Structure 1
C-alpha cells in the first residue's frame, strides 16, 4: 500500500519525476475560465412543463455538449451529502483499515489502488487514488465493499440505487428524444454499473501533474458528483474550460457508446481532472456500462439512405480492449470502429 498517494504525498516537497506529464499534455496554468454556457437542467422544473420539454432540454445538451449538470434530480440531497462524507471518511482512514480492499489485480470487483489499473507499465502516474467496485445488482457485490467506515455499505447502497434510478430516467429521455423506442437502453447496454471514488491529495506542482488526463469515457453514460473543490475541466472548441462545482448537482457525461448508438447525433466530450496544491479533492463517479458481449452499433431506426451508419457493429469487450491497449483515450478511440468511405 506504500504506492498509494495517501501514504506519502503529504510529505512530498517536490513532484516525483514519474508524475510529471509531457509538455504537450500537462495542464500548465490551471486558471482557465469556467464554462458559462454549460447546460444546467432543473429536472423537476423541466418535467413540470411536460415530458416533451424535458426531452428537448436533455437532447439538446447531449447534442451540443455531451455533458451537462442536473439539479432537482430526485436523488435525496441528504444522501448525496452523506455519501460524499462517508467516501472522505474512507480515504481518511489509516492504511491498516483499508488493506482489505487494496489490490493491484484489475480483475477484482472491489479494489483500492493508485493511478490506473496498469501502474507498473504506465509511463506517467496519475495524481489520484481510486476506490472502485461493482454495484449492480447490489446484492451480488455488496459483501465485497469496504467494511469500514461501518456505515459505508448502507449509505453507498442507498446512493447507488437512487443514482441508478436517475440514470434510467435520463436514458429514457434520451431514448425518447432520438426516437429509439421504449426500453432501448435495456440490460445489455446498462448491465455493468460501477461506483468509483477519486481522491486527489494536494499536489506540490499542479502545473505538471494530472488527476486524470484528457479522455472521453468508454462507457454509455456517467453521473459524476463533485465536492466543493474545483478540478473538472472540459475541452471544447480547442480550449479548456472549468466546470464549476454546484452543491448536490450531478455532472452527466456521455460516453463513446452513446455516440455510436446515436450514429454521431450525440457527442462524447473530452475532459480531464486537474490537481491543486492546497486542498484534498474528492469526486464520485457512477458509471453505466454495457455487458462485455453486448453488440454495439448505430440504432437501426436512425439509419437510412441519407443517414448511413458511421460505425461498424462490435461487441463492447472488443472496444474496451482496444481502448485500454492503444491507450488512445479521447476521440481517436473510435477511429478503428468507423466505417471508412469507399
Structure 2
C-alpha cells in the first residue's frame, strides 16, 4: 500500500499497522466537548479599558487553561478559506507529483511525509499525511514550497504573513499582561515560522487509531486553523475532551517555551487528534519557534518566586528529547529544590 494516505482510494478497513494497542487507542468515537474554552474577542483591544480587560482574559486563559479561541482576529475570512482550499488541492494532486516532496529529513525546509518522520521505524502508524515548511523570512523559503497548485505560493505567503502578524500581536498583549518590555518576543525568540498541515482521510473505525499522538507543543506559540469537523482533543481534568470550532475562529496554544518564560505561570495543554469516520480533516497549524542558540529562561519580571527552570538553548532542549515526549524533556530542565 502507498505510504502517503492521500493517495489511498476507497478505504474499507484499517491496515493492521495502523491499529494501536488497546491501551493507546481512543476506544470510542464520541467524546464530550470541552464547554469552557476561553473565547477572546480582539475587537476590544483599541479602547484603554477594553484593552486591559482583553489582556487579562488572555493571561487568565494562559494560566488556567493553556488554550483559547480567538474571534475577530484580523485574518480575513476569504484568505483563510483560500488557504484551506489550496491545501486540499495539493493533497488531491497525483501521487507522482507529491512524491517529489516526500522526505523524512527534519532538516529539509519543505517536507511531505506520512504518520511521522520515523515512519520506517515506528511499530504503529498515525492516520495522517503532513506537509511542513518554513515561512519566515519568505524570500529565503518560498522557493522550496510546492509549485502546484499554481496559486499555492501566492495564497500561502499572504496567509503566513497575516498569521505571523496575528501571533506577534498576541505575544505583544502577553508582554503587556506580564509586564515584559515591548518587543520581548520579537527577533530570536520567534525567528522561525513553520506552516504545518495535517491531512486525515476518512477512517473506517476511528476508535482503533490516532490521527496524531498526544503531545505538548515544544515551541513558543501555536495557531490552529481548522474547520468544524471534530477530531482535535485536549486532555483536561483527567479526560479527553473534544474541541468545537466557532465560525472563522482560530485556536491559540501557548508552547512549552512560553511556559518556561512565564516561570510556570502558564499552562501548555496535552492534545491529540482522532480521525473522522466519513469526513476528510484538514488542519493548518502555524508555529513561532526560537532560533537554536537563543537562551530560554524565566523572564525576570515573572520571578515573583525563584526560577522554576534552568536556562537552556532551544538546541539543548531538542537534543534532550529521548523519544519520551516534550513534557519529560521540559521536566529535565526543572530546577532541583534543595531538601
Place the TM-score, normalised by the shorter chain, in its bin: over 0.9
Partner of 2:306: 308
8 Å Cα contact 2:200/2:211 also seen in 1: yes
8 Å Cα contact 1:65/1:267 also seen in 2: yes
1:326 to 320, 323, 327: 323
What does 1:113-262 correspond to in 2, within 5 Å? 113-262=113-262
8 Å Cα contact 1:100/1:146 also seen in 2: no
Offset of residue 99 of structure 1: 2.8
Partner of 2:27: 28
SS at match of 2:101: coil
SS at match of 1:213: strand
SS at match of 2:125: coil
Q: Distance in 2 between matches of 1:120 and 1:195?
A: 24
SS at match of 2:68: strand
SS at match of 1:99: helix
SS at match of 2:320: helix
What does 1:15-94 correspond to in 2, within 5 Å? 15-48=14-47, 49-94=49-94
8 Å Cα contact 2:44/2:51 also seen in 1: no
Partner of 2:5: 5
Q: Distance in 2 between matches of 1:47 and 1:338?
A: 38
Offset of residue 332 of structure 1: 2.6
Q: RMSD between aligned alpha carbons?
A: 1.5
Per-residue Cα deviation, 1:108-135 (whole angstroms, up to 9, x for no partner) = 1001111111111222211100011000
Q: Distance in 2 between matches of 1:112 and 1:80?
A: 21
Offset of residue 11 of structure 1: 4.0
Per-residue Cα deviation, 1:129-172 (whole angstroms, up to 9, x for no partner) = 00110000011100110000000000000000001000110001
8 Å Cα contact 1:210/1:275 also seen in 2: yes
SS at match of 1:3: coil
8 Å Cα contact 2:221/2:258 also seen in 1: yes
Per-residue Cα deviation, 1:191-238 (whole angstroms, up to 9, x for no partner) = 011001110001122111111111110111000000231111110010
**TM superposition score normalised by structure 2:** 0.96
SS at match of 2:133: strand
**TM superposition score normalised by structure 1:** 0.95
8 Å Cα contact 2:178/2:301 also seen in 1: no
8 Å Cα contact 1:111/1:131 also seen in 2: yes
What does 1:262-277 correspond to in 2, within 5 Å? 262-277=262-277
**Higher mean C-alpha deviation, range 206-215 or range 92-101:** 92-101
Partner of 1:14: 13
Q: Distance in 2 between matches of 1:102 and 1:228?
A: 28
Unmatched 5+ stretches in structure 2: none
Unmatched 5+ stretches in structure 1: none
